[in-house]
Amino acid sequence: MGKYKNTFEDKEISWFRFNERVLEEAQNKINPLFERLHFISIFCNNLDEFFMENYSTLLETYNVAKEEGYKEENEKTKSKLKNIYKFTKVLLAQKDIVYKDIVQQFKSYSINQITPSNITDCEKEYLHIYFEKHISRALVPIIIGRKLRLPSLNNKQIIVAVSCELENYKTTGIVPIHSAMPRIILVPQTDNSISYILFEDLVFMFIEDLFKKYKFGDKAIIRITPIRMEYIGDTISIAANNIRKALKLDEDQVFHQEAPLDMSFVQELNKKIPQQEYNSLYYVPSTPQKTLQIDDTKPMIDQIKKKDILLSYPFEDFEQFIRLINEAGTDNQVQSIKITIYKVAKNSKIIKELIKAANNGKEVICIVELTASFDENENIKWAKKLENGGCKVFYGLTGFKVHAKVMLITMNSGDKQEYITNISTGNYNETTAKVYCDLSLITAHKEIGEECAAIFEKLQEGKFIEGTKHLFVAPLCFEDKIEDLIDNEIEKAKNNKNASIVLKLNSLTDRRMMKKLIQASKAGVKIQLIIRDICCLKAGVEGITENIKVRSVVGRFLEHSRIYKFGEGKSSHLYISSANLIKSNTSHRVEIAVPIYSEECKIKVCHLLDMILKDNVKARIQMSNGEYVIKQIANSEKQFNYQIEMFGEEKPHS
Decide if 300-463 and 473-646 have a common fold: yes
Question: Is the pLDDT score of 234 beyond 80?
Answer: no
- Between β-strands 228-232 and 215-225, what pairing exists: parallel, antiparallel or unpaired? antiparallel
Q: CATH number of 473-646: 3.30.870.10, 3.30.9.90, 3.40.50.1100, 3.40.50.300?
A: 3.30.870.10
Question: Is the pLDDT score of 307 beyond 90?
Answer: yes
Residue 147 is predicted with a pLDDT of 65
Q: State the pTM of this model.
A: 0.93
Distance CA 263, CA 281 (A): 18
Interval 74-113: pLDDT, tens? 888 888 999 999 999 999 999 999 999 999 999 999 999 9
Q: Which amino acid belongs to residue 130?
A: Y
What mean pLDDT is predicted for residues 248-264? 93
What mean pLDDT is predicted for residues 192-206? 96
Distance CA 211, CA 215 (A): 9
The CATH number assigned to the domain with range 1-109 reads 1.20.58.310
Cα–Cα nearest to 35, from 627, 610, 614, 618: 618
CB of 358 closer than 8 Å to CB of 343: no
What mean pLDDT is predicted for residues 594-604? 97
Residue 651 is predicted with a pLDDT of 39
Give the H or E element holding residue 125.
helix 121-130
Active site residues: 403
Bond into 188 cis (ω within 30): no
Q: How confident is the model at residue 650 (pLDDT cuts 50, 70, 90)?
A: very low
In angstroms, the first-to-last Cα distance of the chain is: 56
The CATH number assigned to the domain with range 300-463 reads 3.30.870.10
Identify the burial level of 259 via C-beta atoms within 10 angstroms of its C-beta, where 0-12 means exposed, 13-18 middle and 19 or more buried. middle
Residue 654 is predicted with a pLDDT of 34
Highest mean pLDDT of the ranges 52-66, 168-182, 392-406, 548-562: 548-562
Interval 615-630: pLDDT, tens? 999 999 999 999 999 8
Question: Is the pLDDT score of 645 beyond 50?
Answer: yes
136-150, 297-311, 352-366, 619-633: least confidently modelled range: 136-150
The overall average pLDDT reported for the chain is: 93
Question: Is the pLDDT score of 246 beyond 90?
Answer: no
Higher per-residue confidence, 55 vs 365 = 365
Q: How confident is the model at residue 2 (pLDDT cuts 50, 70, 90)?
A: low
Domain boundaries, the chain: 1-109, 116-282, 300-463, 473-646
E-only strand ranges, 485-618 = 500-505, 526-531, 548-553, 558-559, 562-566, 573-577, 589-595
The CATH number assigned to the domain with range 116-282 reads 3.30.1840.10
Bond into 182 cis (ω within 30): no
